């Protein structure tokens, strides 16, 4: 027994290699994605609306593709899939660094604070980002499926919980470190820091490529797993289960608001507070709160239903969005040495993290219980459809709202008159967050109705069977 106890912390080389490259990949991804709308607008010249749609499609693809790329990874083997993934990511991030250089070589001059290169708004150059985005999207989709698959394969019943706890910690360490590097680059290099950030990401994924090449050797053999036809059948089956479809749509409301951490928040705080704001650092409050509270929340509500826990979390989200709005209604008086917009943004992000602790683990629990016996894993492959929907809708909506109530400086003429017009346009910038208060409140009420209806149907079902 004692020997068994000691062996539970021992993992294979493939396990540790997978977690090591996961840390590098998460650092690369979160460093780039927390600033993606800034990069699209300030560097490539996308409008707020265009940047919202493009980044939304980018994120949505990353949540839709992993189930399908995971099936292909099963066919070719995890090692080859990881090499393919990190090769694509390195090319993609490297291209995001290279694109602005190409624009400059085409004779495009610099101007303004919001857009680095002129001529892109009406020209075709910025759309070269689309094929680059597809490369990163496909590469990233392999990571999500293969790393989690490796953790499952390289652990056993004794050490699996510990294995996943290590994996979860690694993901958050990578996310934290990636976001942290953004501010010093932007402060030291200005908008050029948003370009160099992609070189940092390419370096991380290139390092991961060589680590896989040198150390990764999994026991999982090519040819295992389900084929694409089975996955399509499972997706069709999920879509016929009205509870899962309806709950997915309702929970999309939560993720639409949570996604504003990346869609709206960076541009909002820089425009409202100034270039000294630290949106990438503010974003780190969310994973910090989740790590600190998810275990406590799960333990406190272990005897309550998954729907009860999710409902509590859903009613926290309107509070989060209202806190974010409140900063612009408090004047310019600093709070604890912080601009009120920045301070209340931190408060709102903290509430988001708390809400996530109530919602995310229990949603997966509920989703898995709706699956047929023996197909829980396949069904859970589609449990992130809410993130697919929320990325498409939430990011697109963000661009529209920013353009309406918190526009870019470049929408106004140069000079003092333009400065005055810009400041006047931002007076009602907090209306953006009122929209998301409405989204979150509607979703919370819808979840209550969903719970009432499904409980009533479950009570009546035995009577119907007897009748």
- pLDDT value at 37 more than 70: yes
Range of the domain at 364: 226-467
Measured N-to-C along each axis, helices 182-189 and 192-215 cross at an angle, to the nearest 10 degrees, of 140
pLDDT at 108 over 50: no
- High-pLDDT (> 90) share of the chain, %: 48
DSSP state of 411: G
Sign of CA dihedral 400, 448, 318, 38: negative
- Do residues 202 and 335 share a domain? no
Task: Please check whether residues 52 and 150 belong to one and the same domain.
Answer: yes
Q: Confirm if 241 and 393 have CB atoms less than 8 A apart.
A: no
Residue 41: pLDDT above 70? yes
Both 27 and 102 in a single domain? yes
Domain's final residue, options 195, 215, 235:
215
284 and 179 in a common domain: no
Among 190, 215, 240, give the residue marking a domain's end: 215
The confidence band for 11, taking pLDDT boundaries of 50, 70 and 90, is confident
So what's the pLDDT on residue 119? 41
Q: Looking at the domain assignment, is residue 2 inside a domain?
A: no
Q: What is the CATH number of the domain that holds 85?
A: 1.20.1250.20
Phi, psi of 205 (to 5 degrees): -75, -30
Cα dist from 294 to 26, 174, 360, whole Å: 20, 18, 9
Residue 71 sits in the same domain as residue 45: yes
**Which of 22-36, 132-146, 388-402, 450-464 has the lowest average pLDDT?**
450-464
The four Cα atoms 278, 353, 263, 432 give a dihedral, to 10 degrees, of -90
- Residue 220: inside a domain: no
Among 215, 240, 255, the domain-final residue is: 215
Which residue would you say has higher pLDDT here, 295 or 309? 309
Asked if residue 423 is part of any domain, the answer here is yes
Residue 1 within a domain: no
- Asked which of 105-114, 127-136, 345-354 is least confident by mean pLDDT, the reply is 105-114
Same domain, 230 and 202: no
Residues 134 and 167 placed together within one structural domain of the fold: yes
pLDDT of residue 103: 67
Q: Which residue has the higher pLDDT, 171 or 203?
A: 203
Cβ atoms within 10 Å of 155's Cβ, excluding its own? 20
Count CB-CB contacts under 10 A for residue 282.
Answer: 21
pLDDT at 466 over 50: no
**Same domain membership, residue 233 and residue 204:** no
Domain identity same for 206 and 317: no
Specify whether the backbone of 336 is left (phi greater than 0), alpha (psi in -120 to 50) or beta.
left
């Amino acid at each position: 027994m004692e020997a068994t106890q000691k062996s539970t912390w021992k993992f294979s080389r493939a396990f540790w290699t997978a977690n090591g490259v996961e840390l590098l990949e998460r650092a690369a991804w979160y460093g780039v994605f927390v600033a993606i709308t800034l990069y699209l607008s300030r560097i490539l010249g996308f409008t707020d609306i265009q940047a919202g749609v493009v980044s939304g499609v980018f994120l949505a693809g990353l949540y839709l593709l992993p189930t399908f790329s995971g099936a292909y990874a099963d066919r070719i083997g995890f090692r080859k899939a990881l090499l393919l993934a990190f090769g694509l990511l390195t090319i993609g991030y490297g291209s995001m660094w290279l694109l602005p250089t190409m624009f400059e070589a085409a004779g495009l001059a610099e101007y303004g604070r919001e857009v680095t290169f002129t001529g892109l708004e009406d020209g075709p150059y910025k759309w070269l980002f689309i094929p680059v985005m597809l490369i990163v999207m496909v590469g990233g989709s392999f990571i999500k499926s293969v790393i989690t698959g490796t953790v499952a394969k390289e652990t056993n019943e004794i050490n699996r919980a510990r294995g996943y706890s290590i994996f979860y910690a690694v993901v958050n360490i990578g996310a934290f470190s990636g976001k942290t590097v953004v501010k010093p680059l932007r402060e030291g290099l200005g908008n050029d820091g948003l370009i160099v950030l992609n070189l940092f990401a390419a370096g991380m994924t290139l390092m991961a490529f060589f680590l896989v090449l040198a150390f990764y050797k999994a026991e999982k053999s090519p040819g295992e797993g389900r084929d694409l036809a089975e996955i399509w059948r499972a997706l069709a089956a999920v879509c016929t289960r009205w509870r899962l479809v309806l709950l997915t749509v309702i929970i999309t409301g939560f993720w639409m608001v949570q996604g504003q951490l990346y869609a709206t928040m960076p541009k909002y705080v820089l425009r409202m507070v100034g270039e000294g704001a630290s949106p990438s650092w503010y974003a780190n409050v969310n994973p910090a709160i989740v790590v600190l509270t998810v275990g406590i929340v799960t333990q406190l509500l272990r005897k309550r239903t998954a729907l009860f826990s999710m409902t509590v979390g859903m009613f926290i989200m309107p509070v989060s969005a209202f806190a974010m709005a409140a900063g612009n209604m408090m004047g310019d008086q600093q709070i604890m040495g912080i601009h009120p917009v920045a301070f209340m943004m931190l408060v709102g992000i903290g509430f988001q993290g708390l809400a996530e602790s109530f919602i995310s683990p229990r949603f997966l629990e509920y989703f898995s219980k709706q699956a047929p016996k023996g197909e829980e894993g396949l069904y859970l492959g589609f449990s992130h459809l809410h993130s697919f929907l929320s990325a498409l809708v939430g990011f697109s909506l963000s661009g529209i709202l920013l353009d309406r109530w918190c526009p870019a400086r470049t929408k106004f003429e140069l000079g003092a008159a333009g400065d005055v017009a810009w400041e006047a346009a931002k007076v009602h910038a907090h209306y953006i967050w009122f929209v998301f208060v409405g989204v979150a409140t509607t979703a919370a009420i819808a979840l209550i109705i969903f719970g009432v209806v499904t409980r009533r149907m479950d009570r009546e079902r035995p009577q119907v069977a007897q009748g």
